[in-house]
Structure 1
Amino acid sequence: MRQYPPRRIVCLTEETVETLYLLGEQERIVGVSGYAVRPPQVRREKPRVSAFVSADIPKILALEPDLVLAFSDLQAGIVADLVRAGIDVHLFNQRDIAGILAMIRTLGALIGVVERADDLAQGFERRLAAIAATPRRSPPPKVYFEEWDDPLISGAGWVSELIEIAGGADVFQDLRHRQAAKDRIVSSDAVREAAPDVILASWCGKKVVPARIKQRDGWSEIPAVRDDRIVEIKSPIILQPGPAALTDGLDAIVTALWGPHS
């Protein structure tokens, strides 16, 4: 029998896990993605049932969820299996800051805590506005965000927007609306010609190696390489379109651009 609001929720990505904890509704979570690390206690409190593009369907079914929360076309196969098994699934597909805020409010509606979710989203909106309004020197530093190193992939929509809010200028801003990573592939020459002042890198779950970036053919004259301004931003705080990106992820960008006391 379907239950509203749902009491048993499985989250197949990290951002809905963090949102439920921030809403004080973590007791509803009965299973999480293996990538869920925020807040830290989730690792010991909740069973892991999925990676990103694969999931243990029998394990999820055994948890008897009222609702499974998924994200993006990359989880469409998992969603199809769960739907065929009779499970209610909501798949989010947010790719920009407006989408992240809508996800928070939609999740609140799905679980019956509309006002609390709206308060949470409004708090993030105020925070973003305050950081965007902070006086910064002009012109803004040019920033290249590298989401992957082979091939070179520039930052997703929300990352590009956060760079702007932090007072930087994304050198590949024109690619921000392209959802698929393959549509944000850039050439080494294009990065060189863009001459970024800062390179931010987050290689989707593997450690960034600045020395490897510096050794790329023809990159020694890029201002960011010449001035040693290559900064890794850990993927859990920037590559998932949720609360982490709007808080620790944005703060990391601000620090990379303006220093620790900015």
Structure 2
Amino acid sequence: MTSPRVVSLAPSATATVSALGAADLLVGVTGHCDPPDDAGRAHDRDGPPETVGGWLNPDLDRVADLDPDAVLTSDGLQADLAETCRDRGLSVSHREPADLDAVVETFAARGDDVGRPAAGERLASAARERLDRVAAAVAGRPRPTVYCEEWSDPPMVAGNWVPEAVRAAGGRYPFVDAGERSREIGLDAVAAADPDHVVVHVCGRGDRVDPATVDDRDWAVDAPTHVIDDSLLNQPSPTLIDGIERLARVFHPTAFRSADQGEEGDA
């Protein structure tokens, strides 16, 4: 059976395909994607998958030249792009999860998209098991109030699945409801909520953010600032589960201390 040729136009799709163990199917990705070293090998490529441009402005002629069996897109910002690809006769699988459950369901759906349904089901099941373990660890503990900032100029409070990610990690998030888009927020509104933690995950910046840009603001917030790689919270891929585990350890370090010490002892 011939392996499908897959072009991913979304970093989250690329990360999910990689987590499925199907990175070898990728023949094209965007410059914002981070494919593993084995990407493209199913098609005897000499190097990594071809880079076809940015995630909002890919070169669709280059995409078409790769003769893909599936083009993967994600997020409402790529909805028009997905339609444009379809208009060009490309087979597109567009996934647009808005909350945490939908993100996990997308893991299984991506397995279907690339012809690896069993791997997709396993990935979704493993994600749910990890979330269950976090939930058990933080159960019954006081929930700190958390402010998550997705953009800093102007400040934007994170929406989509981030409210649920914070709650899954044992926090309280009074700023945006799950499924709502990220939005601009006034500093007075943040201060009024009196957060116990400030989490900064600026879109596209990884963890390359100076916490002083937030700490030195003229605002009435007295809480520690945690800079987290934006892919751990902004990306609807398995890295989001990593991000939830990371947040849970920030909010409730004693809940995981025994387990972490056990892991060190086993090393």
- Please give the TM-score of this superposition, normalised by the length of structure 2: 0.84
Long gaps (5+) in structure 1: none
| Distance in 1 between residues matched to 2:138 and 2:177, nearest whole Å | 27
Instruction: Quote the residue 1:189 is aligned against.
Output: 188
> Contact (CA 8 Å) 1:5, 1:110: kept in 2 or not?
no
Q: Secondary structure at the match of 1:134?
A: helix
> Contact (CA 8 Å) 1:57, 1:81: kept in 2 or not?
no
Letter of the structure 2 residue corresponding to residue 190 of structure 1 = A
Instruction: Quote the residue 1:28 is aligned against.
Output: 25
Instruction: Quote the residue 1:121 is aligned against.
Output: 124
What do the CA deviations read for 1:127-157 (whole angstroms, capped 9, x no partner)? 1011011146742111100011122211223
Alignment of 1:63-212 (within 5 A): 63-135=66-138, 138-172=141-175, 174-179=176-181, 181=182, 184-206=183-205, 207-212=208-213
1:165 deviates by 1.4
Give the RMSD, CA atoms, in angstroms.
Answer: 2.3
Letter of the structure 1 residue corresponding to residue 163 of structure 2 = S
Q: 1:157 to 1:77 in 2, by over 3 A?
A: closer
Letter of the structure 2 residue corresponding to residue 146 of structure 1 = E
Q: 1:41 to 1:142 in 2, by over 3 A?
A: farther
Q: 1:213 to 1:127 in 2, by over 3 A?
A: same
Q: 1:116 to 1:87 in 2, by over 3 A?
A: same
> Contact (CA 8 Å) 2:148, 2:200: kept in 1 or not?
yes
Q: 1:213 to 1:99 in 2, by over 3 A?
A: same
Instruction: Quote the residue 2:265 is aligned against.
Output: none
Long gaps (5+) in structure 2: 41-46, 258-267
Identity %: 27
What do the CA deviations read for 1:184-223 (whole angstroms, capped 9, x no partner)? 221110001011010000111233222121222233xx23
What do the CA deviations read for 1:143-182 (whole angstroms, capped 9, x no partner)? 100011122211223222111111111131x433213x3x
Q: Which moved more, 1:34-43 or 1:58-67?
A: 34-43
The question of 1:258 aligning with 2:257 is answered no
Find the partner of 2:8 among 11, 20, 29: 11
How many residues in Structure 1 have an aligned counterpart in Structure 2? 248
Q: Secondary structure at the match of 1:147?
A: strand
Letter of the structure 2 residue corresponding to residue 186 of structure 1 = I
> Contact (CA 8 Å) 1:163, 1:169: kept in 2 or not?
yes
1:66 deviates by 1.1
| Distance in 2 between residues matched to 1:141 and 1:8, nearest whole Å | 46
